[in-house]
């Protein structure tokens, strides 16, 4: 599954790698997690690891599409045709008695049509003329309002392919087709490694944080981000000390599939993540991306063996991936939206990259030497997505996240005019304005 | 909070109500749930019930924006300026000693600048000239690379307003501003009431479902839908019997805030939901919407008292809402996407309606007498969202949910040509193509 040779020392200055290169490297350097079979009812927000087939015909039997009457007649029935009525078939009931010519059975939506039925008359065109007789108020063609067995799909036919993300609709479609278990990639065991001596490590009240220290935004951000994706994670705080960071990383590597660290990836005297990663057995895939925020982004991996996303009957797998995010919370937010999702997808066997929506700039944006990922607000103007800048884009500021609902890529070295085309990722559909 | 008079018998034929009217009635007929105060770390996917203010200045103290040197000098410093270096300040450390004129302190990003600092020189423009001396390689202006205390926001200033949805970014912004607890609307207690004698009530294997019965798609669909929204729910299966349905509804009304039923809302002889709702104390808000699928959609409520979304210190609240969905699974899927979200939002104090994205039709669509909500596939062509129809739109079919990623509104009584403008709701961002 690893489609690209590992690139070590990739991104070291002066040759920063581009956002596109970093996205592609993330997607192609990751081996999907092991496969497990679980009940469909527990598979929401998971990804299929194998093609999945219908266990029954859909519909499973020929049935009425309406509340009405199952009829048996040769050819079409003109208005005024009369039928002898006997019995009824509710949904869920079965009547095996063969319907006789010119006879009718009361039937309800989803009810299995009895043998001999040639057409169904919806109740709106039927009049009762006696306790056991009905009359058609309109002409009726053969084979009306019958859902034929297997008309949507046949037992054994392909329902969904490996790589299919299972949202609520997909879960329902699997359940309806009689699929009770599915093969999915197991969820990653995720550790968050929060570095920085300035970070107050627990959710203290405002007045209990020591002078010079800051409230931790990164831990809550990452925990919430994984929660949104249906994944639990554990959080570890470490001091800025080479030995401690290295020991912690070595332990995490043995027990987790994915480590997300914050801070310690720049070139400061106390930036230990890269060195500690090397010491504890990770190999660098890339470091430093030509972007703002998040330039020092670091990605490394430790490939323990070659058991690759196969249904081995075991969940054991000893690869570990380390995504080293910068410490500034805006960089953490932006890099998780862009790269965290790709990494999570890749671990779940999804290799295609997320789509960027075309949009137009509401106002001009000045050139910057690096490509930017701006937190912006989308609205709709004349049928197009228009994005505007709420300001406060510095990497230590998060306040604009209450307004923003998308991330916009702004190319490097270009002054952009109002109305120009840019591309965005939607970050908040639930509360679009 | 109830902005509109209750409309009873609304939607009874021949005057079906429009989709827009139904959406508005849902949004305005609901009283938000009670308010509770919870830790910020547990508030992801919740909605703020009160305006929320910063507990600290942001930044809390003036700090270096870079790895470099804090300097004290009168005015600008020309290239070649020399300073006496003494000590260092790591992020998280505090040095209260006043910086003397022409002196420098090594400082790292986020480190609190010492008293007396006039500017910060990033390390790239500084050269060590002795063990205790540094020299600037470039001219430096006053007050460079200093993040001033309170420059993003002041302690006590408004951070976020009531009604704010809390995604991962918002959680981080609250945490960073020292907010440890927030007032949010409590989550609804949700019951799913699955009716239909044809529905097999447990996830049996394909071959263990009796003839004439079908695998339940609606229960798994609704459970997964609520799971995606961070809400647990309980599922109840009832037979198509008036007394049983009425007794069950009465019990659910006493113990849940929201009941979602499937089936039994049409005009068939065994459609008991409306009558049972009335018997058990619900009053109808609307029934029947001019749409396909989902025409018999039913909404009722039971308002027990007038305690309305206030912070009463208690979670007790005895209102109950009943959204009666049709039994066809495609109708369940579509109506939850459109109306379920609005209802959930309204219970969480969010009154604005979801945004519909403009899109263009890839191919013509024939007229239908009712407005349609089609499951379609969006892609991008020349910077616009283009939607195409995967087929199999009948309300008993779900297979196209593996492909579709949006719902498109197709107006009634109009033949639409390729390229015409329509509006869609995105249902799957995670796996957009």
Token pair belonging to B180: 């440890």
How sure is the predictor about A430, in pLDDT bands with cuts at 50, 70 and 90?
A: low
Q: In what helix (H) or strand (E) does residue A250 lie, and over which residues does it extend?
A: helix A242-255
Beta-strand relationship, B406-410 and B421-426: antiparallel
Under 8 Å between Cβ of B35 and B171: no
Q: How far separated are the first and last CA of chain B, in Å rounded?
A: 41
Handedness of CA B155, B157, B160, B162 (dihedral sign): positive
For the domain A357-426, what is the CATH code?
Answer: 2.40.340.10
pLDDT at B205: 56
Q: How far does B252 lie from chain A, in Å, by closest CA?
A: 23
Measured between beta carbons, which residues in chain A are less than 8 angstroms from residue B39? 203
Residue A92 has its nearest CB partner, among B159, B197, B427, at B197
pLDDT at position A149 over 60: yes
Q: Give per-residue pLDDT as tens, A256-296.
A: 999 999 999 988 788 899 999 999 999 999 999 999 999 99
- Which residues on B lie below 8 Å from A355 (Cβ)? 380, 432-433
Cβ neighbours of B341 in A, within 8 Å? 430
Residues of chain B with Cβ-Cβ distance to A404 below 8 Å are: 169
Give the number of beta-carbon pairs within 8 Å between A and B: 340
CB contact under 8 A, A220 and B175: yes
The CATH class for the domain spanning B63-147 reads mainly beta
Report the alpha-carbon distance of residue A105 to residue A87 in Å, rounded: 6
- pLDDT per residue, tens digit, chain B (433 aa), is 333 444 455 554 556 999 999 999 999 999 999 999 999 999 999 999 999 999 999 999 999 999 999 999 999 999 999 999 999 999 999 988 999 999 999 999 999 999 999 999 999 999 999 999 999 999 999 999 999 999 999 999 999 999 999 999 999 999 999 999 999 999 999 999 999 999 987 655 556 788 889 999 999 999 999 998 899 999 999 999 999 999 999 999 999 999 999 999 988 788 899 999 999 999 999 999 999 999 999 999 999 865 544 444 444 468 999 999 999 999 999 999 999 999 999 999 998 898 899 999 999 999 999 999 999 999 988 888 999 999 989 988 999 999 999 999 999 999 999 999 999 999 887 553 3
pLDDT of residue A428: 81
Domain B357-426 in the same topology as domain B63-147: no
Chain B environment of A196 (Cβ under 8 Å): 91-92, 110
**Contact (Cβ atoms closer than 8 angstroms) between residue B297 and residue B324:** yes
- Compare all CA atoms of chain B with the CA of A165 and give the residue at the minimum distance: B431
At A120, the pLDDT band (50, 70, 90 cuts) reads: very high
* Nearest C-alpha in A relative to B161: A402
A278 token code pair: 């090397």
pLDDT at B11: 56
pLDDT higher than 90, residue A395: no
* Residue-wise burial string across A72-89, b where 16 or more C-beta atoms lie within 10 A, e elsewhere: bbeeebeeebebebeebb
Contact at CB, A402 and B160, closer than 8 angstroms: yes
Cα–Cα distance measured from residue A227 to residue A192, given in angstroms and rounded to the nearest whole number: 13
Residue B306: what pLDDT? 53
Helix ranges (DSSP H) in A111-187 = 168-176
**Interface contact flag, A268 B218, Cβ < 8 Å:** no
**Does the distance separating the beta carbons of B355 and A380 come in below 8 Å?**
yes
Q: Please give the DSSP secondary-structure letter assigned to residue A365.
A: B
Distance from CA of B211 to the nearest CA of A (A): 7
Give the model's pLDDT for residue A173: 96
Nearest to A402 among B159, B240, B385 (CB): B159
Q: A175, B221: Cβ pair inside 8 Å? A: yes
Cα–Cα dist A178/A180, whole Å: 6
- Locate all alpha helices (DSSP H) within B213-288, ordered by sequence: 218-228, 242-255, 273-279
Cβ atoms of B300 and B284 closer than 8 Å: yes
* B122 contacts on A by Cβ (under 8 Å): none
Each domain of chain A, given as residue ranges in start order, spans: 19-34+187-347, 37-59+152-185, 63-147, 357-426
Confidence at residue A313, expressed as pLDDT on a 0 to 100 scale: 44
Give B-chain residues touching A433 at CB under 8 angstroms: 352, 355
Angle (nearest 5°) at CA A389 between B111 and A370: 60
Nearest CA-CA partner of B357 in B430, B421, B433: B421
Asked if residue B293 has a cis previous peptide bond (ω within 30° of 0), the answer is yes
Q: Helices B218-228 and A168-176 sit at what angle, rounded to 10 degrees?
A: 160
For B54, the token pair is 């910063």
The crossing angle, in degrees rounded to 10, of helices A218-228 and B168-176 is 160
- With pLDDT > 90 as the criterion, what percentage of chain A qualifies? 81
User: Dihedral (C-alpha) A150, A151, A152, A153: value to the nearest 10 degrees?
Assistant: 40
Which pLDDT score is estimated for A241?
93
Which among B60, B427, B432 has CB closest to A355? B432
The reply to whether residue B59 touches residue A421, judged by beta carbons under 8 angstroms, is no
Contacting residues of A for B230, CB less than 8 Å apart: 227
Which runs of E-coded beta strand occur in B242-401?
258-262, 283-287, 291-292, 298-302, 320-325, 357-361, 371-381, 384-388
- Partner residue opposite A221 with nearest CB, options B168, B219, B397: B168
Closest chain A C-alpha to B316 CA, distance in angstroms:
27
CB contact under 8 A, B270 and A173: no
How far apart, in whole angstroms, are the C-alpha atoms of residue A20 and residue A28?
12
Task: Please report the pLDDT score of residue A11 as a whole number.
Answer: 56
Which range (A15-24, A96-105, A314-323, B421-430) has the least confidence?
Answer: A314-323
Q: Residues B156, B150: contact at Cβ < 8 Å?
A: no
Residue A224: predicted pLDDT: 96
How far B165 CA lies from chain A's nearest CA (Å)?
7
- Which of the residues B110, B326, B360 would you substitute to probe the A interface, choosing the one with the greatest number of A C-beta atoms within 10 Å? B110
* Beta carbons of A269 and B352 less than 8 Å apart: no
Cβ separation A224–B171 shorter than 8 A:
yes
Which of A56, A171, A375 is facing B221, going by the closest CB pair?
Answer: A171
Distance of CA A347 to the CA centre of its chain: 12
Confidence (pLDDT) at A206: 59
Is A357's CB within 8 Å of B350's CB?
Answer: no
Question: What are the tokens at A315?
Answer: 């969940």
Cα-flanking dihedrals φ and ψ of residue A96, to 5°? -90, -10
Interchain contact, A198 vs B111, CB within 8 Å: yes
Say if the Cβ atoms of A224 and B167 lie within 8 Å: yes
- ipTM of the shown complex: 0.90
Q: Which chain B positions have a beta carbon within 8 Å of A58's beta carbon? A: 397, 399
Q: What is the DSSP string of A8-74?
A: TTTT-TTSPBPHHHHHHHHHHS-PPPPEEEEEGGG-TT-BBSS-EE-SS-BSSS-EESSSEEEE--S
User: In 3D, which of B324, B327, B285 has the Cα closest to residue B302?
Assistant: B285
- Beta-carbon count within 10 A of A419 CB: 12
What are φ and ψ of residue B219, in 5° steps?
A: -60, -55
How many angstroms separate the CA of residue B24 from the nearest CA in chain A? 16
Contacts of B155 in chain A (CB under 8 A): 206
- Closest partner residue to A224 among B44, B109, B218, by Cβ? B44
Residue A151 to residue B244: CA distance in whole angstroms: 34
pLDDT at B316: 44
List CB contacts of A61: < 8 A, sequence separation 6 or more: A112, A149, B211, B212
Nearest by CB to residue A168, choosing from B209, B228, B431, is: B228
The dihedrals phi and psi of B102, each to the nearest 5 degrees, come to: 60, 20
Mean pLDDT of A127-133: 94
CB A371 within 8 Å of CB A411: yes
A214/B384 touch (CB, cutoff 8 Å), yes or no: no
Spatial contact of B393 and B400, defined as CB atoms under 8 Å apart: yes
Cα distance between residue A318 and residue B86, in whole Å: 47
Q: What is the CA radius of gyration of chain A?
A: 30
Check CB contact under 8 Å for B213 and A40.
no
Q: What is the DSSP string of B110-175?
A: TPBPPTT--EEEEGGGEEEEETTEEEESS-B-TT-SEE-TTSSB-TTSEEE-TT-B--HHHHHHHH
Gap between the Cα atoms of B136 and B121, Å rounded: 8
Nearest-angstrom CA–CA distance, A429 and B134? 52
Considering the domain B35-59+164-185, what is its CATH architecture? Alpha-Beta Complex (3.90)
Residues of B in contact with A205 (CB under 8 A): 55, 178, 180
A376-387: pLDDT as tens digits: 999 988 888 999
Query: CA nearest A47 in B: which residue?
Result: B431
Residue A12: pLDDT above 60? no
Residues B74 and B3: their CA atoms lie apart, in Å, by 63
Beta bridge partners of B361: B387
Q: In sequence order, what are the residues at sequence separation of 6 or more whose Cβ sits closer than 8 angstroms to the Cβ of residue A157?
A: A53, A54
| Fold held by A19-34+187-347 | Molybdenum Cofactor Biosythetic Enzyme; Chain A (3.40.980)
What superfamily does domain A37-59+152-185 belong to in CATH? Answer: Molybdopterin biosynthesis moea protein, domain 2 (3.90.105.10)
What's the pLDDT at B313?
44
Question: Are B333 and A172 in contact (CB < 8 Å)?
Answer: yes
What residue in A sits closest to B222 (Cα-Cα)? A168
Which residues of A are less than 8 Å from B217 in CB distance?
Answer: 172-173, 175-176
Chain B environment of A61 (Cβ under 8 Å): 211-212
Q: Which residue has the higher pLDDT, A301 or B429?
A: A301
Whether the pLDDT of residue A358 is over 70: the answer is yes
Distance CA A321, CA A303 (A): 8
> Region A142-147: what's the mean pLDDT?
97
Beta bridge partners of B260: B192, B323
Nearest by CB to B180, which of A153, A203, A355? Answer: A203
Distance from the Cα of A196 to chain B's closest Cα (Å) equals 7
Check CB contact under 8 Å for B211 and A112. Answer: yes
Q: Cα(B25)–Cα(A40) distance, rounded to whole angstroms?
A: 35
Report the distance separating Cα A386 and Cα A377, nearest Å: 8
Are A192 and A325 contacting, i.e. CB atoms less than 8 angstroms apart? Answer: no
Residue A296 contacts residue A273 (beta carbons within 8 Å): no
* d(C-alpha A119, C-alpha A143), whole Å: 4
Find the CB nearest B401 among A173, A197, A206: A173
Whether residue A13 is predicted with pLDDT greater than 70 in this model: the reply is no
d(CA B58, CA B144): 18
Interface test with B, best of A148, A149, A224 (most B CBs within 10 A): A224
Nearest to A228 among B39, B45, B421 (CB): B45
Average pLDDT, chain A: 91
């Amino acid at each position: 599954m690893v489609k690209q040779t590992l690139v070590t020392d990739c991104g070291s200055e002066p040759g920063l790698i581009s956002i596109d290169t970093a996205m592609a490297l993330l997607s192609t350097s990751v081996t999907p997690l092991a496969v497990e079979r679980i009940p469909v009812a527990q598979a929401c927000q998971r990804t299929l690891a194998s093609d999945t087939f219908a266990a029954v015909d859909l519909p499973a039997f020929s049935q009425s599409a309406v509340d009405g009457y199952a009829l048996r007649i040769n050819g079409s029935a003109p208005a005024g045709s009369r039928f002898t009525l006997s019995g009824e078939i509710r949904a869920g009931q079965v009547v095996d008695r063969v319907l006789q010519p010119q006879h009718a059975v009361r039937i309800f939506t989803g009810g299995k049509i009895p043998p001999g039925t040639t057409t169904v008359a919806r109740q709106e065109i039927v009049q009762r003329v006696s306790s056991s007789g009905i009359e058609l108020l309109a002409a009726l063609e053969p084979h009306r309002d019958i859902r034929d067995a297997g008309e949507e799909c046949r037992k054994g036919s392909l329902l969904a392919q490996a790589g299919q993300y299972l949202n609520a609709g997909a879960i329902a479609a699997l359940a309806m087709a009689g699929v009770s278990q599915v093969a999915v990639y197991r969820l990653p065991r995720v550790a968050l490694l929060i570095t920085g001596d300035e970070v107050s490590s627990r959710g203290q009240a405002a007045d209990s944080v020591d002078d010079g220290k800051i409230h931790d935004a990164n831990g809550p951000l990452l925990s919430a981000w994984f929660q949104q994706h249906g994944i639990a994670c554990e959080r570890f705080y470490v001091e800025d000390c080479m030995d401690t960071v290295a020991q912690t990383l070595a332990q995490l590597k043995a027990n987790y599939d994915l480590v997300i660290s914050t801070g310690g990836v720049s070139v400061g005297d106390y930036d230990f993540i890269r060195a500690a990663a090397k010491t504890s057995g990770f190999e660098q895939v890339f470091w430093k991306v030509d972007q703002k925020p998040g330039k020092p982004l670091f990605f490394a991996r430790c490939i323990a063996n070659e058991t690759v996303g196969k249904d081995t009957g075991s969940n054991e797998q000893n690869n570990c991936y380390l995504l080293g995010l910068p410490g500034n919370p805006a960089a953490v937010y932006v890099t998780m939206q862009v790269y965290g999702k790709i990494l999570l997808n890749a671990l779940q066997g999804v290799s295609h990259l997320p789509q960027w929506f075309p949009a137009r700039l509401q106002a001009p944006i000045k050139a910057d030497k690096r490509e930017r990922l701006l937190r912006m607000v989308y609205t709709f103007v004349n049928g197009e997505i228009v994005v505007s800048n709420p300001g406060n884009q510095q990497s230590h500021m998060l306040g604009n996240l209450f307004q923003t609902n998308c991330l916009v890529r702004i190319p490097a070295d270009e002054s952009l005019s109002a109305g120009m085309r840019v591309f965005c990722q939607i970050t908040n559909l639930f509360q679009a304005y």
